[in-house]
Structure 1
């Protein structure tokens, strides 16, 4: 039976039940919880240091109203990073390669920022649809273009995350198949391809973390526009 390269992106099932819900709930089990001891473990200390630095970097430009979103965006970042990194392990499924799941992350938070802007600063939010000093003839066209660009933001978030992870997984699989075929025929070339595969895997680890950071960073920028 010949398998397609895209079979790795199909949601696994067990007895006809999709296991994507199990994959989505697994990351929260892996993180250590805070304890009442005076001295924390190295893992918990590293986790706290990472969260503090992320919150400081993301929410420094925002005013106090935006700081209420710190828990939500920080949890989303940790969730996406964990899902992306777990998807690089053998025999695993990466939920963030599914556009529907990424859109489910992007659309509600983007919509919440838009509603927040319309509620608190209606005039300024509507002013973004029409740049100042626009000629009269271009006003209807620019309003349409800005409205489309506004509604395409969550789609761009979901497509960016999906495309980067999907491309990386496909490239890793193609190079791994090439190394598997070349080892019996040309061991030296196969070893070189394996070294390239190792470097590509390290690059994909970096991409998995960077894409999660970019996803949350863009959401914070959308929030900054509406508070």
Structure 2
């Protein structure tokens, strides 16, 4: 029973072929494409409004030099929201519950922000490792601490996204299992667990969107430090 709860986080395999690539590609097929008409339909208008509002809010604290990252950040945001939300549907798989995938997204983007800082302003980027007015005996210790915190950033990005989605999916499965068990035994308690399951599902939808936004927001803050 305990092992079956974690089976939902295993990478799906069909005839020995991993379906993770299919799970990553499918969300892009579901997005509507622009038409040649002068006026878009409601879905396209809603999609354009959401993207424009998110881009405006994301680029607000960034310098003009960082606005060229708008397309990358916006695409990553929409991609993560799609993966997280589609994983809540029955008989689906959430690729972002895999730490390897999240680290594969976090490490290159974090490294790109660091390399951007080292290329554009190397002195300022290196100066972040040692705060000003640091006493001499504390210099080696602070350099090691700041360096470790710098390299922990991509790990924190990947683990945060993985842990939040995994915990939510596992809690939903535990409560749904308890509901099915309690229906023939205690229908009143089962009704309460069903209400709790419904509220938790709504919360998990919000978490799926919030975690995608937090992932991209932290990347933009890392970029701001290096511009």
**TM-score category by the smaller chain?**
over 0.9
What is the CA–CA distance in structure 2 between the aligned matches of 1:130 and 1:52, rounded to whole Å?
38
Matched, 1:114 2:114: yes
Q: Which residue of 2 aligns with 1:81?
A: 81
Q: How big is each residue's C-alpha offset from its partner over 1:47-95, in whole Å with a ceiling of 9 and x where there is no partner?
A: 0000000000010221221111111010000000000001001111100
What is the CA–CA distance in structure 2 between the aligned matches of 1:107 and 1:37, rounded to whole Å?
40
Q: Which runs of 5+ in 1 are unaligned?
A: none
Q: Which residue of 1 aligns with 2:71?
A: 71
CA apart distance, 1:4: 2.1
Q: Which residue of 2 aligns with 1:169?
A: 169
Matched, 1:14 2:17: no
Superposition TM-score, scaled by structure 1 size: 0.98
Instruction: Name the SS of the counterpart of 1:26 in structure 2.
Output: helix
Q: Which moved more, 1:3-12 or 1:122-131?
A: 3-12
What is the CA–CA distance in structure 2 between the aligned matches of 1:2 and 1:106, rounded to whole Å?
30
Q: CA RMSD in A?
A: 1.0
What is the CA–CA distance in structure 1 between the aligned matches of 2:129 and 2:226, rounded to whole Å?
13
Q: Which residue of 1 aligns with 2:28?
A: 28
Q: Which residue of 1 aligns with 2:130?
A: 130
What is the CA–CA distance in structure 2 between the aligned matches of 1:189 and 1:150, rounded to whole Å?
49
Q: Which residue of 1 aligns with 2:205?
A: 205
What is the CA–CA distance in structure 2 between the aligned matches of 1:210 and 1:157, rounded to whole Å?
13
Q: Which residue of 2 aligns with 1:179?
A: 179
Moved over 6 A (4+): none
Q: Which residue of 2 aligns with 1:189?
A: 189
Q: Which residue of 1 aligns with 2:140?
A: 140
What is the CA–CA distance in structure 2 between the aligned matches of 1:2 and 1:63, rounded to whole Å?
49
Alignment: residue pair count: 227
What is the CA–CA distance in structure 2 between the aligned matches of 1:123 and 1:13, rounded to whole Å?
49
What is the CA–CA distance in structure 2 between the aligned matches of 1:115 and 1:157, rounded to whole Å?
18
Q: How big is each residue's C-alpha offset from its partner over 1:83-110, in whole Å with a ceiling of 9 and x where there is no partner?
A: 0001001111100000000001110010
Q: How big is each residue's C-alpha offset from its partner over 1:129-153, in whole Å with a ceiling of 9 and x where there is no partner?
A: 0000110000000000000000000
